[in-house]
Structure 1
């Protein structure tokens, strides 16, 4: 899945799609070497295997490919990543569409956690952890400023602020590296969009995930492509 873009915004999103700190994690996002993989993007599958494990679960709106590949691996078959097989992916064209996409995707990952628990990789829990830590930090900050429960707030601050600062420092460091000029010249707009897109991906996904875990994904759909210039409706 080789993300690419036509505009500064799309190119910023594409860079983070291809980066481990953005959407990376699955082999097909980061250009990992050929080998065994957790899932596949637009995979080529053997018909006899699909007949054995069943087709896509149509009750899952997002992440259905991951769930199918989970069943394939559980049945003793192999999912194999070959970087020579590549498909160009065009990201959403606006910040609002991107936020809607990631919220819906996060909600369905939360649903998959409800169904399959820790069969989901640990990386899926990083964005919701960021959201929870950020919310706690804001609450603690308000308690400290208002003088309410000062001792309790100070104790909680020592527990929350350190991991939050560490997480923020990591995201900032990688974000700054991503907007550097190591890979060639980039326009100012693309660099600024990269800094804006990175937290948007994590926070939108994390909020969706928490909602999906708490109440399920329900009828959540990703309507962010509707009316898109790049993907006209059939």
Structure 2
């Protein structure tokens, strides 16, 4: 994205301002099961704010586009944009470029979630009250089938989410990172928008640049979203493999951005590797067995505390999340090291040919 050189012209909400230039951005890719409820929940707020809803589709083939067009026929404030790059980061950048001169603020809405009717207005009120350039929200995972309920329980628990601030309760506060919701258009454009080289963790990477540029990120306790997680352990594993890889990419771009909880997760893949030697010495498997047993016990404790026997296996979901994240992180370390080695060897060969 083309970005201005300074943030001198950024829009600030004062206590007397009534922001009217708002766009709600909804990236989609095969969201036919969720898009209509999401749009219907956003429409009342969009009417009150005079906001447009931009659905940015990455090439859905499940009927999502047709459903959006049907909804736009009855609510003309809905605009459909095509995202040829498919990724969410590219979708937000595309919409921001399209609406940059028409909106002072944008609200990022993920289609795989549910939103309260006053969601957008509360976010704007929080920006006005705190003076923050970015207002983030807390996520509560909600499941329907047995597997999805266990995955949701793991994502809502500290032993599953690692203490991520936007996954847990508490008062509103300024944070380093949160689930993206409202953002000042000028701040977003000033730092260059999302890095489209990130398929995952693009929000955490952007928050690094926002804070370095002096912008403030507020995690509100006044509203939140209900998130619908993956409904199989296979899908969950692939998601967290990508999360781990994305976290390494962020750490590579922003040294010092890793937190203590990340280092704990990083140790799991080596522990799993160590267990291979259990064929020689059984003791090599002890750390892995102890970690998995701890996940199971914590899952059972959560089920007992919640008096919900149907989530007794949430410890398994937590184990899948944690180990997949670790393997994804180290997979990206290996790829990055291999690419660096190949580049070095190629450069050396070129030097020898001269």
**TM-score with structure 1 length normalisation?**
0.75
Partner of 1:6: 144
Partner of 1:197: 317
1:58 matches 2:182: no
Q: Which of 198, 208, 231 is equivalent to 1:70?
A: 208
**Would you tell me which structure has more strand in proportion to its own residues?**
2
Segments of 5+ residues of structure 1 without an aligned counterpart are 146-153, 218-234
Q: Output the CA distance in 2 between the equivalents of 1:212 and 1:115.
A: 13
Q: Which of 144, 147, 163 is equivalent to 2:281?
A: 144
Shift of residue 135, structure 1, vs aligned partner: 1.8
Shift of residue 118, structure 1, vs aligned partner: 2.3
With over 3 angstroms needed to count, the CA separation of the structure-2 counterparts of 1:166 and 1:195, relative to structure 1, is closer
Shift of residue 84, structure 1, vs aligned partner: 1.9
Shift of residue 63, structure 1, vs aligned partner: 0.5
Shift of residue 132, structure 1, vs aligned partner: 0.7
Q: Please list, as runs of the form range in 1=range in 2, the aligned pairs for 1:83-122 lying within 5 A after superposition.
A: 83-122=221-260
Q: Which of 271, 276, 286 is equivalent to 1:133?
A: 271
- Number of residue pairs aligned between Structure 1 and Structure 2: 199
Partner of 1:211: 331
Determine which structure has greater relative contact order: mean sequence separation of CA pairs < 8 Å that are 6+ residues apart, divided by chain length: 1
Q: Which of 164, 184, 190 is equivalent to 1:26?
A: 164
Shift of residue 167, structure 1, vs aligned partner: 4.5
Other structure's SS at 1:131 match = helix
Flag as ranges the 4+ runs of structure 1 deviating above 6 A: none
Larger Rg: 2
Partner of 2:136: none
Shift of residue 7, structure 1, vs aligned partner: 0.9
**Would you tell me which structure has more helix in proportion to its own residues?**
1
The C-alpha deviation readout for 1:132-172, integer Å capped at 9, x for no partner, is 12321432x23336xxxxxxxx8xx6xx95x6676456434
Q: Output the CA distance in 1 between the equivalents of 2:148 and 2:218.
A: 29
Shift of residue 62, structure 1, vs aligned partner: 0.4
Segments of 5+ residues of structure 2 without an aligned counterpart are 1-138, 338-354
Q: Let me know the Cα RMSD of the aligned residues.
A: 2.4
With over 3 angstroms needed to count, the CA separation of the structure-2 counterparts of 1:39 and 1:199, relative to structure 1, is same
Q: Output the CA distance in 2 between the equivalents of 1:19 and 1:185.
A: 14
Contact 1:23 1:29 survives alignment (8 Å): yes
Q: Which of 306, 311, 319 is equivalent to 1:183?
A: 306
Partner of 1:222: none
